[in-house]
A and B are shown apart, each in its own frame.
Chain A
Amino acid sequence: SQQGEEDPQALSIQEGENATMNCSYKTSINNLQWYRQNSGRGLVHLILIRSNEREKHSGRLRVTLDTSKKSSSLLITASRAADTASYFCAANSGGSNYKLTFGKGTLLTVNP
């Protein structure tokens, strides 16, 4: 079963605008990760937030985590056409095998 569920499924914005994607998960987590996938390519890790963290920044990315609501959000500020991609959240529920459970993804289109 899917651990993470992203919302919205698709998002279209203009260059320079901010993009916010949300993720909900079902069970307790050790950490939550966000990945990006350009069309026809593999996934690339963006940012990881641990269960005891509430917010994390990396460049134009801001991730928040609310463990009481079992949800996370990814904010991309000042978006660029090159940010066009699918974005996935992935939950790590702990355990020794470091398995990730991925959501279905949000397709972000940034129009020039």
Chain B
Amino acid sequence: DAGITQSPRHKVTETGTPVTLRCHQTENHRYMYWYRQDPGHGLRLIHYSYGVKDTDKGEVSDGYSVSRSKTEDFLLTLESATSSQTSVYFCAARSVGSVPREQYFGPGTRLTVT
């Protein structure tokens, strides 16, 4: 998985509880992304980061916040989990360069909100 790990890999939580998912990368990528994957929707961008402490919203950011205090870690927080946030969450990262580059993905976190 190109040096990208996610934790936890599986989590079951109750509605209304806060949840934090962690993405860790070892390749010094500048850009990091959080996606959610749901049947019939493909992958949708939640938030992304373009550097330490620099983040911005994606297309489905409501109910989520992120933080990036170190290059290697990108945290996704669900402040108060809802059943609609049951999903598989993927982290991705890429480096800066003059040529187009791919994103590298982590293995995913399966989150169930009951």
Contact = CB atoms under 8 A, between A and B. Distances in A.
A104 B108 contact: no
B53 to A, nearest CB: 15
Interface residues of B, number: 28
29 contacts: A2-B42, A35-B105, A41-B108, A42-B1, A42-B4, A42-B106, A42-B108, A43-B43, A43-B92, A43-B103, A44-B105, A45-B102, A45-B104, A48-B100, A48-B102, A50-B100, A88-B43, A90-B43, A98-B94, A98-B101, A99-B33, A99-B58, A100-B103, A101-B45, A102-B35, A102-B43, A102-B44, A103-B42, A104-B41
B5 to A, nearest CB: 10
Interface of B: 1, 4, 31, 33, 35, 40-45, 48, 50, 56, 58-59, 90, 92, 94, 100-108
A45 B93 CA distance: 12
Interface of A: 1-2, 4, 30-31, 33, 35, 40-45, 48, 50, 88, 90, 92, 96-105
Given A1-B59, A42-B90, 20 more contacts: A2-B41, A2-B42, A4-B42, A35-B105, A42-B1, A42-B108, A45-B103, A88-B43, A90-B43, A96-B50, A98-B94, A98-B103, A99-B33, A99-B48, A99-B58, A101-B45, A102-B44, A103-B42, A104-B40, A104-B41
B25 to A, nearest CB: 12
B95 to A, nearest CB: 9
Nearest to A5: B42
B48 A43 contact: no
